Chain A
Amino acid sequence: MSKPSSAIGGAHPLFYPLLLVACAIVMVPVLWMLSTSLKNETELFRDPLLLWPEKPTLAAFRSVFQDYPFGAYIRNSLVVVICATAISLAFSTLAGYGLSRFRFGGRGAFLAFLLLSQMFPSVMLIIPYFKILKSAGLLDSRLGLIVTYVSFTIPFCTWMMYGYFRSIPTELDEAAAIDGCGAVRTFFTVILPLALPGMVATSVYAFITGWNEYLFALILTNSEEQKTLPVGIGQLIGQYRIEWNELMAASIYSTIPLMIFFLFLQRYLISSLTAGAVKN
């Protein structure tokens, strides 16, 4: 697969300043977010502005849970996104494998449709989704959101897994067939282990997409009990009283799971992107 990743070119002296500037551009909003979340009411609207709170406090982090059903928001996001990612991963891995190894009627159409489905403005799919979820009694429910998010991520995930499987040589399948393995055995015991990095990349994409998602969760949920994190945070802006410290605290909460998720899977993500890239 990939060559050992040796460096391309030496470290030009301009590189370090460039990197520092880039890091500053990244970190300034992040630190400002942190600083705001640690301020209390009066420090928040201080004039002139306080760059860092004089009396940092975790009050906002606490009151976010007290004033709003934040526990519910987090729980809903976790449940919905983890389930949707798992299902999407499973279906798209199977489909990607099927597309890359087999010929069957409708294959071409399916591939074309995978691409086509990316092109429709999601904002318009909301109304049909209403009807579908309403008839199934799934409005304002986590299950309804799971179904919705699965439908979002499957096209792209299938495409990703398809590309990834194409980079795994078919000689392996043939060898397994010679050994007497049927298609299913071949898939699960021979190919699947090799596909792990690709699956990681796919699940990272699916997770981030779901975790991010705002519009559908906004429209398809009503009760506080079912709202997801992005919707909960978005609501805080619409309130009659905008508590920026609580907003920033909520934002920090909503970023942590992604960071943890990403930290663990970083290595696999890079290597899988590499592998996928080679054969593409």
Chain B
Amino acid sequence: MAREAGRRSPAAAARSRAGFAFVSPAMLVMLLLVAYPLAYGMYISLFRTNLLNRWDFVGLTFFVQSLSDPGFLRSLFITALYAILVVSGHLLVGVTLAVVLASAIRLQVLFRAILILPWLFPEVVVALIFRWIFDPIFGLLNHVLETIGLISTQVAWLDDPTWAFVAVVGAAVWKGYPLVMLLALAGLQSIPRDRYEAAALDGAGRFAQFRYVSLPGLAPILGVAVILEFVWWFKHFTIVWLMTKGGPVDATNVVSIDIYRTAFQSFDFGRASAMAVIVLFICIAFAIAYRWLVPDEQA
């Protein structure tokens, strides 16, 4: 993949033009609808503004204030914890189920069809169902627990900081594991079977086979998935917002909710933009760090 060094043959120039032509529709969209809003968002972060009749230049004030605001830092921590737990949950559940589905079990198609279901539910719906299940008086969870005898009074799950956090993580894991499961299944199916035979010949049991053949085989595909998943769930809004609105108090106040509130309830758009830019840099830093720690040839 050597680049042309300065001089270009007409053929290369023609290919360059062709390449450009193919890429231009997407590039145009990206420039207009991604680059410009990004730049504009960064621009707003330098002003105290309500976007209508007040534009006071404040420079980096909001950045300084946010980074020294314990509330914001706490929401960053909560978000990171949330993303880590959710992605880990996806990996654990998804890979496990993929391994099971990839084995010689019967009714594979049926099981797979059922296990993919959560992915097909819009996030709004998932948030709703779980909120209804966790309802203190009319919720299924309390009813079941009471019937079994595990609890004696009705528990307000979403009112408790710890349980509310567990609930939003749980809902997110329920919703998102199928994607990882599918990717892992695809990855497993692409591993040459003779590797497993060779390992079996060497006396490797089932678990060893998983550890030394399956996992390395899955590593490339899961690698990319982990970065994207972490970033997606770090930015996540819908499920947490509709289940707890960031509460109780600030127990599930992920950073996107914090930004949303600052922008659309306090109408402090400059501050919200600064917070968003900080999140942007965090995600970039994570991607870079991850790449450095877990290099692969994906470029």
| Chain A residues within 8 Å of B, Cβ to Cβ | 2-3, 5-12, 15-16, 18-19, 22-23, 25-30, 32-33, 36, 44-45, 47-49, 51, 90-92, 94-95, 97-99, 101-105, 107, 110-111, 113-132, 147-148, 150-151, 154-156, 158, 163, 183-184, 187, 208, 211-212, 214-215, 219, 229-230, 233-234, 237, 244, 247-248, 251, 254-255, 258-259, 262, 266, 269-270, 273-274, 276-278, 280
Q: What residues of chain A lie closer than 8 Å to B80, measured between beta carbons?
A: none
Quick check: is B228 within 8 A (CB to CB) of the other chain? yes
Quick check: is B34 within 8 A (CB to CB) of the other chain? yes
Quick check: is B215 within 8 A (CB to CB) of the other chain? no
**Quick one: which of A104, A116, A234 has the most chain B CB within 10 A?**
A104
- Apart from the given pairs A32-B129, A104-B15, A229-B122, 11 other A-B contacts in the complex at a CB distance below 8 Å: A91-B26, A98-B20, A98-B23, A102-B15, A121-B259, A123-B260, A128-B38, A230-B124, A258-B122, A259-B120, A273-B183
Known: A22-B115, A121-B280. A212 touches B122 (CB 8 A): yes
Bound CA span A16–B100, Å: 9
Task: Decide if B125 touches A110 in the complex (CB within 8 Å).
Answer: no
Task: Decide if A105 touches B16 in the complex (CB within 8 Å).
Answer: yes
* Complex: chain A residue closest to B110, CB-CB: A23
Task: Decide if B19 touches A104 in the complex (CB within 8 Å).
Answer: yes
Bound CA span A118–B19, Å: 23
Write 10 A-B pairs (CB below 8 A) sorted by A numbering: A29-B133, A102-B16, A103-B1, A119-B287, A122-B256, A126-B263, A211-B122, A237-B128, A251-B125, A270-B182
Among B53-61, B83-91, B155-163, B189-197, the stretch in contact with A: B189-197
Task: Decide if A8 touches B188 in the complex (CB within 8 Å).
Answer: yes
Bound CA span A223–B3, Å: 52
Task: Decide if B272 touches A124 in the complex (CB within 8 Å).
Answer: yes
Q: What residues of chain B lie closer than 8 Å to A123, measured between beta carbons?
A: 235, 237, 256, 259-260, 263, 276
Quick check: is B164 within 8 A (CB to CB) of the other chain? no
* Complex: chain A residue closest to B4, CB-CB: A103
Q: What residues of chain A lie closer than 8 Å to B104, measured between beta carbons?
A: 7, 9-11
Identify whether the interface residues of B are mostly helix, strand, loop, or mixed.
helix
B128 to chain A, nearest CB (A): 6
Bound CA span A111–B97, Å: 33
Task: Decide if B125 touches A255 in the complex (CB within 8 Å).
Answer: yes
Quick check: is B114 within 8 A (CB to CB) of the other chain? yes
A115 to chain B, nearest CB (A): 7
**Quick one: which of A5, A22, A48, A122 has the most chain B CB within 10 A?**
A22
Q: What residues of chain B lie closer than 8 Å to A269, measured between beta carbons?
A: 182
Known: A125-B37, A127-B269, A187-B22. A27 touches B182 (CB 8 A): no
| Chain B residues within 8 Å of A, Cβ to Cβ | 1, 3-4, 12, 15-23, 25-27, 29-30, 32-38, 40-41, 44, 51, 93, 96-97, 99-100, 102-106, 111, 113-125, 128-133, 137-138, 140, 143, 174, 182-183, 185-193, 196, 206, 209, 214, 220-221, 224, 228, 231, 235, 237-238, 242, 255-256, 259-260, 263-264, 269, 272-273, 275-277, 279-280, 283-284, 287, 298-299
Q: What residues of chain B lie closer than 8 Å to A48, measured between beta carbons?
A: 143
Across the interface, B242 reaches (CB within 8 A) one of A163, A219, A237, namely A237
Across the interface, A280 reaches (CB within 8 A) one of B106, B283, B298, namely B298
Known: A49-B138, A113-B35. A29 touches B128 (CB 8 A): no
**Quick one: which of A99, A130, A154 has the most chain B CB within 10 A?**
A154
**Quick one: which of B103, B128, B287 has the most chain A CB within 10 A?**
B128
Q: What residues of chain A lie closer than 8 Å to B111, measured between beta carbons?
A: 19, 23
B132 to chain A, nearest CB (A): 6
* Complex: chain A residue closest to B106, CB-CB: A11
Known: A214-B123, A251-B128. A151 touches B235 (CB 8 A): no
Task: Decide if A8 touches B196 in the complex (CB within 8 Å).
Answer: yes
B45 to chain A, nearest CB (A): 9
Task: Decide if A121 touches B129 in the complex (CB within 8 Å).
Answer: no
Bound CA span A51–B138, Å: 11
Bound CA span A49–B145, Å: 12
Task: Decide if B237 touches A3 in the complex (CB within 8 Å).
Answer: no
Task: Decide if A254 touches B26 in the complex (CB within 8 Å).
Answer: no
* Complex: chain A residue closest to B45, CB-CB: A124
Task: Decide if A154 touches B29 in the complex (CB within 8 Å).
Answer: yes
Bound CA span A36–B231, Å: 34
Task: Decide if B190 touches A277 in the complex (CB within 8 Å).
Answer: yes
Q: What residues of chain B lie closer than 8 Å to A98, measured between beta carbons?
A: 18-23
Across the interface, B185 reaches (CB within 8 A) one of A6, A11, A117, A270, namely A270
Bound CA span A10–B192, Å: 17
Bound CA span A276–B103, Å: 21
B20 to chain A, nearest CB (A): 5
Bound CA span A251–B133, Å: 14
B137 to chain A, nearest CB (A): 8
**Quick one: which of A22, A91, A121 has the most chain B CB within 10 A?**
A121
Q: What residues of chain A lie closer than 8 Å to B132, measured between beta carbons?
A: 32, 36, 244, 247-248
Task: Decide if A8 touches B30 in the complex (CB within 8 Å).
Answer: no
Bound CA span A142–B159, Å: 38
Q: What residues of chain B lie closer than 8 Å to A211, measured between beta carbons?
A: 122
Bound CA span A156–B113, Å: 25
Task: Decide if B237 touches A95 in the complex (CB within 8 Å).
Answer: no
Task: Decide if B33 touches A147 in the complex (CB within 8 Å).
Answer: yes
Bound CA span A129–B190, Å: 41
